[in-house]
Amino acid sequence: VAKTPDRIFKVILVGDSNVGKSSAIQRFCFNTFSDDRRPTLDITFQMKTIVTAQGVTSLQIWDSAGQERFRSVPRLYFRKADGVMLLYDVTNETSLKNVRSWISNIKESAGNNAVIMLLGNKVDKQRTVTWEEGHAVALQCKAVFLEISAKSGENVPQAFEALTRILKEREEGDMGIPPSTGTPLGETIEVTSNNRTERFDVARL
């Protein structure tokens, strides 16, 4: 019997074209991967329910086009966004350089209320961007940081689950309820996957 979610969070994935936004959603929602590199030309969303010790939460996950000419289109969809996942490609330095432009776009469109998670995708390939470089940008932009692989699935569910956890903690804090997971904003969380520990930071909002 499907459980009724006690909360629905709106999460949007943005970033340059071909960084793997659609692939990350496909991996998380359906645990599949496709090498089809045709760009997404429309904005679509999927629903995914997560059951944790905190309760039942549904994510409304929006996919957006990444081409520069479409960059103004998602502004409408940033409204009422609880979380934004900003992806870059660890094999493409330009996609990391463009992160700051995306951050400006996010803050103009979503304000300062949305939790931003910076995700370095394609760690299954030969990288040109180091973990340290991505982490430094995340710190400057006050974003949560994690590296993933939509192709292998590494850290993909952990990223969505961590974002959900942060959103629920922040909401509980706003309501005056003691956080149920005990991870205050501003501290570091460790995620272990495939015998490797990834560190990522929860920015103070």
Within-domain flag for 47: yes
> What domain range includes position 76?
7-201
Token pair of 196 as six digits: 């490797």
Residues in the chain: 205
Residue 37 lies in a domain: yes
Q: Other C-beta atoms within 10 Å of 69: how many?
A: 7
Establish if 1 belongs to a structural domain. Answer: no
Q: What is the pLDDT of residue 40?
A: 59
Per-residue pLDDT of the chain (205 residues; tens, 9 = 90+): 567 889 999 999 999 999 999 999 999 999 999 877 666 556 678 999 998 777 899 999 999 765 445 555 457 778 889 999 999 999 999 999 999 999 998 988 888 889 999 999 999 999 999 999 999 999 999 999 999 999 999 999 999 999 999 999 888 876 555 544 444 444 555 554 444 455 555 543 3
Question: Does residue 141 lie in a domain region?
Answer: yes
How many angstroms separate the CA atoms of 196 and 30, rounded?
24
Number of structural domains the chain divides into: 1
Task: Determine the Cα–Cα distance for residues 205 and 203; give it in Å rounded to an integer.
Answer: 6
Measuring CA to CA, which residue among 91, 76, 200, 85 is closest to residue 145?
A: 200
Domain with 51 in it: what CATH number?
3.40.50.300
Is residue 132 domain-resident? yes
pLDDT at residue number 111: 82
pLDDT at 189: 55
Residue 60 domain-assigned (yes or no): yes
Residue 45 belongs to some domain of the structure: yes
Query: In this structure, is residue 2 part of a structural domain?
Result: no
